[in-house]
Amino acid sequence: MSSHLFSPITLGSLTLPNRIIMGSMHTGLDHSEDPFGRLAAFYKERADGGVSLMVTGGVSPNEQGLISPGAMKLTDAEQIEDYKIITNAVHESGSKIIMQILHAGRYAKQEDLVAPSAIRSPINQFEPKAMTQQDIQRTIDDFVHCAYLAEQAGFDGIELLGSEGYCLNEFTALRTNHRTDEWGGSLENRARFPLEIIHAIRRKLGPRFFIQYRMSVLELVEGGWNIEEAQQFAQLLESAGIDLINTGIGWHESSIPTIAMQVPRAAFSWATNKIKQAVNIPVAAANRINTVDVAEKIIQRGDADLVYLSRPFLADPEFVNKAQEQRTNDINTCIACNQSCLDHLFNFKTVSCLVNPRACHETIMPALPKTASPRNIAVIGAGAAGLSFAIEAKKMGHHITLYDANEDIGGQLLYARKVPGKEEFDELLRYFRVMIEKYQIDLH
């Protein structure tokens, strides 16, 4: 039993039964025909799977902050009812959900973008306009209004995205903040923008409104801050009244991988530990935490108070329930391939998952019902497709016989797993073997 992972914790006004947070993910569903209905189904399935606290994908507080045209935003009271579709679905399943407020800054894929300084990102064709004093104050007001609307829509709090090189992070980093006024220069000045936002939200919504901040710990770019500066900023966040610090690693423009398959599991929890040592509020670790054992060890050794998992909930919505019921072998592990999540997103497609195609398609690919007319089905080939079909058909009640010419299952996966840095494919093979045994599928 994962005793540390499943111990309760209080975060400001929220009390959670475990230490697992479902982290923010861009899903691409904001561009679908029924974005709120599909997002509600996506989050509800994870809530039913045992998630106690989840974070939405990024929602912009104004037009200039949109990550791309048509992306999610919450700027007007008329939008509240749409977002209630999501919060009601999650609350009906007994879970809590907070909204991530994301101002894209110079990462915005649109022409009307702003940043602390007029410095173009190497991964964006558009150059931002440097924010004026009026722009800064208006943006602070927009963040506050967005947080207020989120509360009215039923969200249990917010996460301010201040990592990965987005707008709040651009203010705190010398790399992107070349200002010479009170918003640039010293760390105190560079931190002023996010801190003013926090203070203003607290004044508007009070001390019990839950706020967590995702801060950049290791920026992995030239001109990024060091651990000591990150610790100082964390202390400023604590003084401003943040309830939880969530630790982000790397900027999107960094050439150093942070979530790819070749990155060791929990590779950056040591950096989270540095932040935890500097503050007296809870801290969450993120990046390449994909198994119960890895998550438990992070909490056990004191690197963090909570773990922040995102892609593992694409792979298996039942991750928490299975872990709590000591069915960890039944968990369909995220293998960090990024082929159907990030690759789809960058190509403006709806996100899915290589090991769970239903992810983000819950209303289009509903769970298959039990059949009233079982059939005898022969499946030829025990590669990924054959194995997936055999398992799903068996769950429906059909009689399955699986044939393969090789002695071992897996097909091309047996070759993929041998590529250096691709060893996580072993997890997919492990899962298939467990399911074949669990459902007693005849294999020849």
For residue 437, the Cα-to-chain-centroid distance in whole angstroms is 32
> Coil, strand or helix: which one is 332?
coil
For residue 278, the Cα-to-chain-centroid distance in whole angstroms is 24
d(CA 172, CA 176): 8
Catalytic residue among 166, 213, 308, 431: 166
Whether 166 is catalytic is yes
Element (H, E) at 283: strand 283-286
Task: Name the nearest CA neighbour of 360 among 327, 314, 323, 291.
Answer: 314
For residue 421, the Cα-to-chain-centroid distance in whole angstroms is 23
> Coil, strand or helix: which one is 324?
helix
Task: Name the nearest CA neighbour of 195 among 156, 232, 242.
Answer: 242
What is the sign, positive or negative, of the torsion defined by CA atoms of 355, 359, 364, 368? positive
- In sequence order, the β-bridge partners of residue 159 are 100, 212
Radius of gyration of the chain (CA): 22
Inter-residue contact 400 to 410 (CB < 8 Å):
no
Full DSSP string of 74-132: --SGGGHHHHHHHHHHHHHTT-EEEEEE---GGG-SSSS-EESS----TT-SSPPEEPP
Name the CA dihedral angle for 185, 188, 193, 196, rounded to a multiple of 10 degrees.
-150
d(CA 182, CA 204): 24
Range list of β-strands (E), 302-427:
306-309, 376-380, 399-403
d(CA 431, CA 429): 5
In degrees, rounded to 5, the angle at the alpha carbon of residue 148 between the alpha carbons of residues 164 and 118 is 35
What lies within 8 Å, CB to CB, of 356 at 6+ separation is: 314, 315, 316, 317, 332
d(CA 293, CA 310): 16
Query: Catalytic site residues?
Result: 166
